[in-house]
Amino acid sequence: MDLRHADLFDISPISILCEDWSGVKRAVDEVIAGGVTDFDRFLDGNPQFFFDVRRFHRILDANRSALDLLGFEDKETFLRESRVRLPANPASNVQVFRAMVRGDAVCQGERVLHTRDGRTVPILWRASLPPGPAGPEAYGRLYFFAVDVTELKRVQGALMEAQANLSHAGRLSLVGELAASLTHEVSQPLASIAGHAAAATRWLAREIPNLDEVATSLNRITAGTQHAVRVVAKMRSFARRGELSATPMKPHDCIADAVTLVEHEAHRQKTRIAIDVPAHLPPVIGDRTQIQQVIVNIAYNAIQAMQAARSPERRIAIAAAADGADAVTFTVTDSGPGIPDEVLPRIFDPFFSTKQEGMGLGLSICKTIVEEHGGRLWAANGRDGAPGGASLSFSLPVAGSLPVAGPVQPATL
Ligand code: ADP
């Protein structure tokens, strides 16, 4: 079959819009000629630019598939209503502006369309641009290709939901395993509160009540209560199935948060935990609870390994260090038996465990969490090449450096 360009445009199953961006390119060129060197900064300071240049932009043509996507019967109505139906979308426009300024041959992005018949359709779009430096006329007929990603988003959503449920189940199981020591963390201050309350009553019951002693007891009661409340609050927020969020966090805070949950178990197993984080590390980005979960899981594995091996000296060092400008690496090293060579390649496999009661899910959940954050999790033995216990490391992107993948991705559409 001999197909001409025009036929291909019309019968293509991919939605295509032909658009005139020559006037916009002229406006962008004028801004650059006016001495602007950092166009992104210019856009940040001049948000009205998106709307000012809108009047220079025109949609020239749309193929059948694009009309169907947008809910239009005929092309004429669409071309008449296109401005209303496809309002300026700064997130998408900025991609085109950047490509124009840099002379990129392609640009792409995501956006949501609100169709004439009331549907909301997420799309992926891509356009070819004149490569290299080109005058405004070269932007007179740009072709934009769009793919409906509704189904992809639905599957991604279901996957994210399943992964969030799995990591929540992992946290509940960790809380279950740590329950004995965490209960002690609460019952100990409660016992001391009861003791101080009894003492205060005795001081009051004396013929001449000793109010100073009563005040001391009451202060101790307050401190004990606050400690118990803090432990319960930490445990509750760790066990909760909250909304995932991408928050900038100081590496030291991530570690300290996690240590509060394992320190009592560590103490019970005669294990010392040392934290080593240099000052001025940049904040990392991620879901606070999930990152805490990764560190708790790894540290708890270390406590268990040293206990099982009856290691004479039990130490855990949790460190964070910059990995270039865009990432921070967290490393948890223990002084236990290490991971046998034949076991090492399998520890991240789901359901792999060398423990009698082990589920074998902890590290595989940690790996999923870290990778969804755009990072990496790996294991080795010894520290800096020296023989020694296990050393598990993971990297996380620095806030503002990388687009974060997976469930913690901020809404881009
Ligand atoms: P589980 O704790 O249920 O066994 P994980 O996925 O957390 O599941 O761990 C998988 C396996 O990795 C453990 O069974 C153990 O063999 C090994 N492992 C993990 N951390 C250490 C460690 N610090 N030292 C030695 N072996 C470890």
What does the DSSP assignment read for 315-358?
A: EEEEEEEEETTTEEEEEEEESS----TTTGGGTTSTT---STT-
Produce one character per residue of 388-400: b if its CB has 16 or more CB atoms within 10 Å, e if not: bbbbbbbbbbbbe
Contact 352, 309 (CB under 8 A): no
- Intra-chain end-to-end CA distance of the chain, in Å: 39
Q: Whose CA is nearest to atom 14 of ligand 1?
A: 353
Q: Is the CB of 302 under 6 A from ligand 1?
A: yes
Where residue 86 falls among pLDDT bands split at 50, 70, 90? Answer: confident
Ligand 1, atom nearest to 336 Cα: 24
pLDDT at position 411 over 70: no
Tokens 């295509």 sit at which residue? 16
Q: Which of 306, 298, 305, 320 is nearest to 379 (CA)?
A: 298
Tokens 């290299």 sit at which residue? 132
Give the mean pLDDT of the chain. 90
The tokens describing 216, both together, are 């001391």
What was the pLDDT predicted at 384?
56
Residue 231 sits at φ, ψ, to 5 deg, of: -65, -45
Enter the DSSP assignment of 408. Answer: G
Amino acid identity for residue 309 in this structure: A
Choice between 91 and 80, residue whose per-residue pLDDT is larger:
80
Over the stretch 242-288, which tens digit does the pLDDT of each residue have?
888 889 999 999 999 999 999 999 999 999 999 999 988 999 999 99
Tokens 């503002």 sit at which residue? 400
Contact 270, 315 (CB under 8 A): no
Give, in order, the Cα–Cα distances in Å from 297 to each of 174, 263, 293, 315, 369. Answer: 7, 13, 6, 16, 12
The tokens describing 167, both together, are 């990591």
pLDDT at position 318 over 90: yes
Over the stretch 285-309, which tens digit does the pLDDT of each residue have?
999 999 999 999 999 999 999 999 9
Q: Is the CB of 306 under 6 A from ligand 1?
A: no
* Residue 246 neighbours by CB distance under 10 Å: 18
Q: 3-state DSSP call for residue 35?
A: coil
CA distance 91 to 318: 40
β-strand 315-323 against 272-276: which pairing, if any? parallel
Mean pLDDT value of segment 76-84: 90
What was the pLDDT predicted at 383?
62
Residue 354 sits at φ, ψ, to 5 deg, of: -105, 5
Mean pLDDT value of segment 135-159: 93
The tokens describing 213, both together, are 């002693």
Q: 3-state DSSP call for residue 112?
A: strand
pLDDT at position 3 over 80: no
Enter the DSSP assignment of 207. Answer: S
pLDDT at position 412 over 50: no
Ligand 1, atom nearest to 302 Cα: 23
CA distance 75 to 61: 8
pLDDT at position 413 over 60: no
What was the pLDDT predicted at 140?
96
Gap from CA of 57 to ligand 1 centroid (Å): 59
Contact 235, 175 (CB under 8 A): yes
Gap from CA of 300 to ligand 1 centroid (Å): 9
Q: Is the CB of 358 under 6 A from ligand 1?
A: yes
CA distance 128 to 110: 15
Taken in order of first residue, the domains within the chain and their CATH numbers are: 5-148 (3.30.450.20), 157-397 (3.30.565.10)
Contact 331, 379 (CB under 8 A): no
pLDDT at position 118 over 80: yes
pLDDT at position 128 over 50: yes
Produce one character per residue of 178-209: b if its CB has 16 or more CB atoms within 10 Å, e if not: beebbeebbeebeebbeebeebbeebeeeeee
Gap from CA of 301 to ligand 1 centroid (Å): 6
Output the CA angle 355-360-361, nearest 5 degrees: 150
Q: Is the CB of 70 under 6 A from ligand 1?
A: no
Where residue 313 falls among pLDDT bands split at 50, 70, 90? Answer: very high
Q: Whose CA is nearest to atom 27 of ligand 1?
A: 339
Q: Is the CB of 339 under 6 A from ligand 1?
A: yes
Q: Is the CB of 407 under 6 A from ligand 1?
A: no
What was the pLDDT predicted at 50?
87
Gap from CA of 111 to ligand 1 centroid (Å): 43
Q: Is the CB of 362 under 6 A from ligand 1?
A: yes
pLDDT at position 47 over 90: no
Gap from CA of 340 to ligand 1 centroid (Å): 11
pLDDT at position 403 over 50: no
What was the pLDDT predicted at 267?
93
Contact 346, 358 (CB under 8 A): no
Over the stretch 216-228, which tens digit does the pLDDT of each residue have?
999 999 999 998 9
Residue from 347, 364, 393 whose mutation best tests the ligand 1 pocket (most atoms within 8 A of CB): 347
Q: Is the CB of 69 under 6 A from ligand 1?
A: no
Output the CA angle 275-372-405, nearest 5 degrees: 120
Ligand 1, atom nearest to 363 Cα: 6
Contact 398, 328 (CB under 8 A): yes
Q: At what angle do helices 22-33 and 90-102 cross, to 10 degrees?
A: 70
Residue from 363, 366, 377 whose mutation best tests the ligand 1 pocket (most atoms within 8 A of CB): 363
Gap from CA of 343 to ligand 1 centroid (Å): 9
